[in-house]
A and B are shown apart, each in its own frame.
Chain A
Amino acid sequence: MKRNRKKLLGITLATVLSLSTLVGCGNKNAENTTPAGDTTTTETTDTTKTDDSGLSGSITMAGSTSMEKFATALAEAFMGKNSGVTVNAEYIGSSAGIESLIAGNVEIGNASRELKDTEVSAGAVANIVATDGIAVITDANNKVTDITTADLTKIYKGEVKNWSELGGDNMPIIVIGREAGSGTRGAFEELLGIEDQCAYANELDSTGAVLAKVASTRGAIGYVSLDVLDDTVIAMNLDGVTPSEDTIKSGEYTLSRPFIMATMGEISAQPKEVQALFDFIKSEEGKALIESVGLFTAE
């Protein structure tokens, strides 16, 4: 009996080991090859919904962390309308997103910057879905709340080092920015024409970190997406223009950038569900959604 039990244990262990590796492979295959099988079950449970488009399948997207809020809201709204479609969004950075698009791992690559030449030549097509504004922020106690583009340029190039030079307190300027490769940094430097010339005191690797550092450091200046602004910091007026939807749409506020959902080849060449997603973005509902997350429609 005892030996039998031991034998059983040994064999079970071996089977579990070998099975677990098999299952690991099996799962992946199932995900990749049989999305239709997955969705038929969901469809049958959701047949009560009348507004169902009858679409089925799954859309995977990956990319910019700046687009997280937008992409999550989009995925939720789209799945609410098309219960047969699953939208999976990952936030791994613009470059990594486009890279997985080109590698064929995802259907949509999100980028919060213009596509690079190498990416376009690899087959990625840029579809601008929205526009984002970049706000220049400073700590809540700073007396300087209005800044000219020329002064901002000088601050980031390290030519102006003290707020007293701009009419503020005698306080050093702590220049805070994002890490090289960040979409926000790329857009900011390009819009101001100061690529490769910035003298950053801190290069932080997320929007939240910039916000927190600026809020907690006297005399700090930084830049973040317009839609993440909160009361802990002051959003500075640029050349007398307050950063807001109206001023960005009218073109008065100059620090804005595109949000791109790139596809391999034109949208018309995509699977039906991906086409439907882009149609949804262009619909009235989609426009309302874009505005609800603090962005501005592409048109």
Chain B
Amino acid sequence: MEQLFSIKRSYKNRSIVEQVAQIIFVVCGLTAVLAVASITIYMIISGTPALFQVGIKEILFSSDWNPTGTQPQYGILSVILTSIVGTGFAILIGVPIGVLTAVFLAETAPKSMAAIVKPAVELLAGIPSVVYGLLGLMVLNPLMYEVELVLFKDSTTHQFTGGSNLISAVLVLSIMILPTVINISESAIKAVPTYLKTGSLALGASHIQTIFKVILPAARSGIVTAIVLGVGRALGEAMAISLVSGSSVNMPLPFNSVRFLTTAIVSEMGYAADMHRKVLFTIGLVLFAFIMIINMILTRLLKKGGNEDA
């Protein structure tokens, strides 16, 4: 009697637990979707009005930024260009260093060296971005100022910035993307099948030849993924570069004080009102679009990479 009762109960119990668990999983799964959907909708709702009220051309293709003037101007062309140029150069500097470090870690490093380099890279990834910014502010900017004083000694047109310029920002960014690039490239290199390497060596190629002619080409899709993720990291960084870039709206020339898409929002959000505020949301929308494009490229690359393997 008791047994029968307990079997019935446990069957019921089980079905309840199953159902409840299922509901919990669905709710958890939907959280991320909900977050992305609401952010997308919010960015579009708050970012597009200014585009039409001010004019797409006046915002996206003008470099006159004077949001608080009596004749307000909201051109963010130089801000967009700064983000593109800054990210581009950070990638140009960071990626070769990162990929070569990955090769070193995966292929050529003696165990004792790898035991030092690997934790250092992991530590680099954990350092908060504001610390990079502070270091840039205290160390990089004064150095840049000395260089600026020498280079523009006789210039009458150059505006001195005290070392807060595009180069400082690019250097900080290129160091910040290193961990991303190194870690993903290293996994890609390690995933290259051993028979490719041994085959190459057996045919008489040297280790270095094997690395550059066989291993790196074979790990290509993984390295491209690393680069794309690095671009995303650099494009989205705000805190560190807001401290070192000077934050004046200028065209992205090496010794100009510049403002990125991210820092443009951060630096003026606190006090912005009316249309100025709406335009800051538009900048957010532009940044959001950039990140989305990067993500789509990444997804496509990952799919392609998977097909190649298969």
B-binding residues in A (CB < 8 A) = 3-4, 6-7, 10-11, 13-14, 17, 65, 92-96, 98-99, 116, 118-119, 158, 161, 172-176, 179-183, 186, 195-196, 199-205, 209, 213, 216-220
Asked whether, in the complex, the Cβ of A14 is within 8 Å of the Cβ of B23, the reply is yes
Given the contacts A10-B16, A205-B247, A195 and B69 also touching, CB distance less than 8 Å: yes
Asked whether, in the complex, the Cβ of B17 is within 8 Å of the Cβ of A6, the reply is yes
- B-chain residues with CB within 8 Å of residue A96 when the two chains form the complex: 269-272
Asked whether, in the complex, the Cβ of A181 is within 8 Å of the Cβ of B268, the reply is yes
Asked whether, in the complex, the Cβ of B162 is within 8 Å of the Cβ of A201, the reply is yes
Asked whether, in the complex, the Cβ of A203 is within 8 Å of the Cβ of B69, the reply is no
Asked whether, in the complex, the Cβ of A65 is within 8 Å of the Cβ of B160, the reply is no
- What's the least CB distance linking B260 to chain A, in Å? 13
- What's the least CB distance linking A194 to chain B, in Å? 11
Q: Does B27 contact A (CB under 8 A)?
A: yes
Q: Does B68 contact A (CB under 8 A)?
A: yes
Asked whether, in the complex, the Cβ of B273 is within 8 Å of the Cβ of A98, the reply is yes
Q: Can you list 5 pairs linking A and B with CB atoms under 8 Å apart?
A: A3-B17, A201-B162, A203-B249, A205-B267, A209-B243
Q: How far is the CA of A216 from the CA of B243 in the complex (A)?
A: 13
Q: How far is the CA of A22 from the CA of B216 in the complex (A)?
A: 54
Asked whether, in the complex, the Cβ of A3 is within 8 Å of the Cβ of B273, the reply is no
- B-chain residues with CB within 8 Å of residue A172 when the two chains form the complex: 149, 152, 160
Asked whether, in the complex, the Cβ of B271 is within 8 Å of the Cβ of A182, the reply is yes
Q: How far is the CA of A13 from the CA of B23 in the complex (A)?
A: 11
- Please give me the residue from chain A that is nearest to B247 by CB atom: A203
Q: Does B70 contact A (CB under 8 A)?
A: yes
Asked whether, in the complex, the Cβ of A217 is within 8 Å of the Cβ of B162, the reply is yes
Cross-interface CB contact of B268 among A174, A179, A218, cutoff 8 Å: A179
- What's the least CB distance linking B32 to chain A, in Å? 16
- B-chain residues with CB within 8 Å of residue A196 when the two chains form the complex: 66, 68-71
- What's the least CB distance linking B93 to chain A, in Å? 24
Q: How far is the CA of A51 from the CA of B141 in the complex (A)?
A: 55
- What's the least CB distance linking A80 to chain B, in Å? 29
Q: Does B13 contact A (CB under 8 A)?
A: yes
- A-chain residues with CB within 8 Å of residue B16 when the two chains form the complex: 7, 10-11
5 closest Cβ pairs, A-B complex = A181-B271, A93-B270, A95-B273, A172-B160, A196-B69
Asked whether, in the complex, the Cβ of B23 is within 8 Å of the Cβ of A202, the reply is no
Asked whether, in the complex, the Cβ of B247 is within 8 Å of the Cβ of A204, the reply is yes
- Please give me the residue from chain B that is nearest to A13 by CB atom: B24
Tally the A-B contacts, defined by beta carbons under 8 Å.
140
Cross-interface CB contact of A205 among B20, B65, B152, B270, cutoff 8 Å: B270
Q: Does B183 contact A (CB under 8 A)?
A: no
- B-chain residues with CB within 8 Å of residue A217 when the two chains form the complex: 141-142, 145, 162-163
- B-chain residues with CB within 8 Å of residue A209 when the two chains form the complex: 243
Asked whether, in the complex, the Cβ of A195 is within 8 Å of the Cβ of B270, the reply is no
Beta-carbon contacts under 8 Å, B34-65 to A:
65
Cross-interface CB contact of A94 among B145, B269, B271, cutoff 8 Å: B271
- Please give me the residue from chain B that is nearest to A182 by CB atom: B271
Number of B residues with CB within 8 Å of any CB on chain A: 49
Asked whether, in the complex, the Cβ of A179 is within 8 Å of the Cβ of B162, the reply is no
Cross-interface CB contact of B160 among A14, A92, A201, cutoff 8 Å: A201
Cross-interface CB contact of B162 among A10, A95, A99, A174, cutoff 8 Å: A174
Q: Does B277 contact A (CB under 8 A)?
A: yes
- What's the least CB distance linking B73 to chain A, in Å? 9
Q: How far is the CA of A255 from the CA of B208 in the complex (A)?
A: 67
- A-chain residues with CB within 8 Å of residue B68 when the two chains form the complex: 180-181, 186, 195-196
- Per-residue CB proximity of B252-278 to A under 8 Å, as 1/0? 000001010000001111111110110
6 A-B pairs besides A4-B13, A186-B68, A205-B270 with CB distance below 8 A are A11-B20, A180-B272, A182-B270, A195-B69, A217-B142, A217-B163
Q: How far is the CA of A93 from the CA of B270 in the complex (A)?
A: 5
Q: Does B161 contact A (CB under 8 A)?
A: yes
- What's the least CB distance linking A192 to chain B, in Å? 15
- Most A C-beta atoms less than 10 A away, residue of B65, B66, B138, B259: B66
- Please give me the residue from chain B that is nearest to A213 by CB atom: B162
- A-chain residues with CB within 8 Å of residue B243 when the two chains form the complex: 209
Q: How far is the CA of A2 from the CA of B247 in the complex (A)?
A: 62
Asked whether, in the complex, the Cβ of A199 is within 8 Å of the Cβ of B160, the reply is no
Asked whether, in the complex, the Cβ of B276 is within 8 Å of the Cβ of A181, the reply is yes
Asked whether, in the complex, the Cβ of A3 is within 8 Å of the Cβ of B257, the reply is no
Asked whether, in the complex, the Cβ of B242 is within 8 Å of the Cβ of A7, the reply is no
Asked whether, in the complex, the Cβ of B246 is within 8 Å of the Cβ of A201, the reply is yes
Q: Does B164 contact A (CB under 8 A)?
A: yes
Asked whether, in the complex, the Cβ of A14 is within 8 Å of the Cβ of B66, the reply is no
- What's the least CB distance linking A3 to chain B, in Å? 5
- Please give me the residue from chain B that is nearest to A170 by CB atom: B153
Q: How far is the CA of A174 from the CA of B277 in the complex (A)?
A: 28
- Most B C-beta atoms less than 10 A away, residue of A3, A201, A213, A220: A201
Asked whether, in the complex, the Cβ of A202 is within 8 Å of the Cβ of B160, the reply is no
Q: How far is the CA of A4 from the CA of B17 in the complex (A)?
A: 10
- Most A C-beta atoms less than 10 A away, residue of B16, B257, B267: B267
- Please give me the residue from chain B that is nearest to A205 by CB atom: B267
Asked whether, in the complex, the Cβ of A17 is within 8 Å of the Cβ of B27, the reply is yes
Asked whether, in the complex, the Cβ of B271 is within 8 Å of the Cβ of A179, the reply is yes
Q: How far is the CA of A126 from the CA of B116 in the complex (A)?
A: 62
Asked whether, in the complex, the Cβ of B66 is within 8 Å of the Cβ of A183, the reply is no
Asked whether, in the complex, the Cβ of A203 is within 8 Å of the Cβ of B20, the reply is no
- What's the least CB distance linking B164 to chain A, in Å? 5
